[in-house]
Structure 1
Amino acid sequence: MKFIATLAVVASSMAALVSADMLQISNPTMGSVWTTGQAEFVGWSGNCASMGAAGKNVTVDLLTGPSSAVRYVATLGTLDCTGSNARADFTVSNSIAAGTYSIIVRTQPTGQESYTNQFQINNPSSAPSTPVAPVTPASDPAPSTNSPTTKSSGASSLGANAAMAFAGAAAVAYQLL
């Protein structure tokens, strides 16, 4: 009985830890259409105040490809998710080709990743393709990096991190018996 109670406490603690700094992205949604050169917004619920100062500079990246093989396109900029803000405006550069994209928001240092559904970006001056090109935020200064870098997808890292944390917590609970 003591083991089950300990395990329940550990499991609920791990669930709270895993979701503590995760944002739920509410915009763009599937069916959204953004246009290059125009201000658009990323909306979310939740906050990452527990991150401290790091929550004021959370990276927002543009991705392309199916969920099983997403590819980094560019960094849109950063957002502040520590307070009551639930929206950040960005202008997608005219150098981004028309196509299907998604966005990932990475909260650090916990490594939580929040993804949007796929949405469309229209570029009246380009044909559909997926070149790598920078974009700049509409209301904030450019991000500290001058050019985008290739990043691998972290789509599976949340599950792996949660599994490792749960395994560690289970080992601790076993030792407490």
Structure 2
Amino acid sequence: MIICGIDEAGRGPLAGPLVVAGVILNNDIDNLNDSKKITPKKREELFEKIKKSSKYKIVIIENQEIDSFGLSACINKALKEIISSLKAHKYIFDGNSKFGVEKVEPIIKADSKIKEVMAASILAKVTRDKIMCDLEKKYPNFKFCKHKGYGTKEHIDEIKKYGLTSVHRKSFKPKSLQPTLF
């Protein structure tokens, strides 16, 4: 049975794209795991191995599209794009939702259990991390390579000091940036 594992990186950040990857492994790859449980150096090594020994599709959805259509619609679009690109018997997506895509089987913590999803997790995270580090060169006031656009205290402070950039998700409104009534 051919399994396509699917995972995403960048669902919750305040800046940068959403990256969704689908992977069908042609060979077993040692040391796969959830991308968050692997060192950056090991992720880079596995990223190259996965690309060489799999069929894969990486979908990048920019922040403007997330702002225009919403996160769920963007995930739905990415899942459909992966399914149309990679032919498999089963499409397993890390999480608890199909996002309206019938062929998708959501499994909570699949990125820790299923090797194809682990591989997808690594492709998505490494791709997104590279994009965020490149964005730091364009926006040197923001430590995108460090916080990856997530709503850390440092990132919130950068937004307060420098304002939003063209890569920020305008539809994501953290409470710490909202005016208070008092």
Q: Shorter-normalised TM-score: what interval?
A: under 0.3
Higher relative contact order (CA 8 A, sep 6+): 2
**How high is the TM-score relative to the length of structure 2?**
0.26
- The answer to which structure has the higher strand fraction is 1
In terms of Rg, which structure is larger? 1
Please state which structure has a larger fraction of its residues in helix: 2
Q: TM-score, normalised by structure 1?
A: 0.27
